[in-house]
Amino acid sequence: MAEAIALKSNVAGASAQSRRRILLELAIPYGLILLVIWTPRPLQKLLWWVAAAAIVAIFWLSFDRMKQLGLRTAGFFRSLWIAGAALVIAAIAVLAAVLLHTLHLPPGGLIGFIKTYWAYALWACVQQLLLQGFFLPRCLGLTKTSTSAALLAAVLFSLAHLPNPLLTPVTLIWGFAACLLFLQYRNLYPLAIAHAIMGIAIAITIPGPVDHNMRVGLGYLTYHHPTRLTQPQFTKPPSPQPSPLPQP
């Protein structure tokens, strides 16, 4: 009996040690991300590289396999409807923007559109990888249910978009839904595609003065919409400024 008690104590100690490690793996990168968001340039650039290095290092030390990150073919076609649903939502948003005269597209047709938003689309995929491949697994290690883990990851994702009044609630809803969908299908690609579609839809349908060109943190507070001293002319809409964590 004494041996059983000792074994149970060792297991509890190991579990507590594991939780402390998970908390550190969450707190350090997330704290650095918040510093990046709320720090002015040029120090922001330095902190960005520090945060990126910390996340890559933790990824490397705890990396298991590509399948764990959702980078696989299994489940892709079953979950492709997620990207389709994002297209439908984006189409509705574009139609509403046309009716409200808020749609703003970059010049140059399709080529101009790709040049303007290809970098954001790539960054949206990286954000989704961070949310599902980095934060969600650690939230699973801290919570009792997958639903509570998804909610915790979504809250962290959303808080990184403060004080933007549009992106903060949108990323909370999307983050929670994306985490639940990832736990069901275990495939990252449709979620990343959906993220890029909806993010670009926000960029071209919401006027810059409303969402401050999708800026977050200090960038949102210091945003100044350019004034027009002459007659209105078309100007190329700036690409949305990506936040360090996945946004819709």
From first CA to last CA, the distance across the chain in angstroms is 54
Instruction: Report whether pLDDT(14) > 90.
Output: no
Q: Find out whether 25 and 58 touch, Cβ atoms under 8 Å.
A: yes
Per-residue pLDDT tens digits for 129-169: 999 999 999 999 999 999 999 999 999 999 999 999 999 99
Q: What is the pLDDT of residue 26?
A: 93
Q: What is the CA radius of gyration of the chain?
A: 20
Q: Which of 205, 198, 202 is nearest to 97 (CA)?
A: 205
Classify residue 244: in a domain, yes or no: no
Classify residue 30: in a domain, yes or no: no
Task: State how far the Cα of 116 lies from the Cα of 209, in Å rounded to an integer.
Answer: 19
pTM metric for this prediction: 0.83
Q: What is the pLDDT of residue 119?
A: 94
Q: What is the pLDDT of residue 61?
A: 82
Classify residue 130: in a domain, yes or no: yes
Chain centroid to Cα 13, Å, comes to 34
Give me the torsion for CA of 55, 58, 64, 70, rounded to 10°: -20
For the chain, the domain total comes to 1
59 or 236, greater pLDDT = 59
Q: Which two tokens stand for residue 66?
A: 């590509």
Per-residue pLDDT tens digits for 77-122: 999 999 999 999 999 999 999 999 999 999 998 999 999 999 999 9
Q: Tell me what the mean pLDDT of segment 212-236 comes to.
A: 70
Classify residue 45: in a domain, yes or no: no
Give the residue carrying structure tokens 């939502």: 89
Task: State how far the Cα of 22 lies from the Cα of 24, in Å rounded to an integer.
Answer: 5
3 state DSSP class of 124: helix
Count of Cβ atoms closer than 10 Å to residue 162 Cβ: 17
Classify residue 171: in a domain, yes or no: yes
Task: State how far the Cα of 138 lies from the Cα of 119, in Å rounded to an integer.
Answer: 28
- Domain boundaries, position 85: 66-221
Classify residue 228: in a domain, yes or no: no
Classify residue 56: in a domain, yes or no: no
Classify residue 151: in a domain, yes or no: yes
